[in-house]
Amino acid sequence: MQSFKETADRIREEVGRVIIGQKGVVDQLLIALLAGGHVLLEGVPGVGKTLLVKTLCRCVDARFKRIQFTPDLMPADVLGTNVFDLQKNEFTLRKGPIFTDVLLADEINRTPPKTQAALLEAMQEKQATIDGASHGISPVFFVCATQNPVEFEGTYPLPEAQLDRFLMNVRMDYPEYADECSIVRRYAATPALDADPINAVRPVLNVEQLVELRRGVNQVQVEARIVDYVVQIAAATRKLNSVSLGASPRASLALLHCAKAAAAIDGQDYITPDHVKQMAAPVLRHRLFLLPEAEVEGQSVDNLVRHVLDSVTVPR
């Protein structure tokens, strides 16, 4: 597990060349990448969501594609389409941006459900079906979808089934005051606000090494008491009076797998309850749905997750 920690530290260092602060967000994206899941990244415009994903991708030396989701985007714009080649007198597949290693789905909630659904098969089964034929995609396929949490006019909220496809829901808030001062000082001398700073980032590992690291995450030991703890947390969310839908068994598996990856980047080959607590909010927050009256009362999902963690007995 020491190699995991060294690799994680090197990635943090390279990301730090571009992204100042946001250490928790960086770790959560790294954990999702190692766990082989997908991320729904939320944050107001201008906090660096796109830049963070591109920087992380550069650290992994992976293929990167970005889709700007808009109301007129069609499924074929995501998956690709068969085009007739006059010279060969046959149809050839023109692959869409989904055939990549890391996909940034920018403002995913601005496109209709039909186009959103084009991602589901690839996210779940690592393949895309075009005109009835299935095509394999990258074995390390990683979707990082963004959405603006404060502007909902003209958007199409993701349904519960699609939200559940995301391993984590990561919140990227405004930077701390000192970090923002450092950001302004660092980039004050650049010729333009849109200057690309990721050229200074050096790859830490390649796609093949990432596949090996994901296999290594599965070797992290899990004691029976930790499994009971994870299941008790998920079960407790289903008994909350403020929610209409609690965490499913898929959420329990996601929480356990994320805790494995969190332990791995800490250099440990076993999970502790602290690793489970660390991952509870990003894994569960998009899988719990508040009742309307709870929203009116000002309750939040994160507060409910904290309440659940306080109410479930921590194993010793």
pLDDT of residue 154: 66
pLDDT of residue 150: 66
Which residues have a Cβ under 8 Å from the Cβ of 262 and sit 6 or more positions away?
27, 31, 275, 278, 279
Reference 164, options 44, 281, 40, 258; nearest CA is 40
**How far is the C-alpha of 57 from the C-alpha of 63, rounded, in Å?**
8
Span 220-316: which CATH code? 1.10.8.80
Q: Domain 2-216 belongs to what architecture?
A: 3-Layer(aba) Sandwich (3.40)
Predicted confidence pLDDT, tens digits, the chain (316 residues): 678 888 999 999 999 888 888 899 999 999 999 999 999 999 888 888 888 988 888 888 888 899 999 889 998 889 988 887 778 777 888 888 999 999 999 888 888 888 888 888 888 888 888 888 888 888 889 999 988 876 666 678 888 878 888 999 999 999 899 988 988 887 776 655 555 677 788 889 888 999 999 998 988 999 999 999 999 999 999 998 888 888 999 999 999 999 999 999 998 989 999 999 999 999 999 999 888 888 888 888 999 999 999 999 998 8
Per domain, the residue ranges of the chain are 2-216, 220-316
Contact in structure between 236 and 312 (CB atoms under 8 Å): yes
**How far is the C-alpha of 302 from the C-alpha of 283, rounded, in Å?**
11
Model-level pTM greater than 0.75? yes
**How far is the C-alpha of 60 from the C-alpha of 186, rounded, in Å?**
24
**How far is the C-alpha of 297 from the C-alpha of 310, rounded, in Å?**
21
Hey, what are 177's tokens?
């005051």
Which residues have a Cβ under 8 Å from the Cβ of 171 and sit 6 or more positions away?
25, 42, 43, 149, 282, 285
pLDDT of residue 192: 56
pLDDT of residue 196: 66
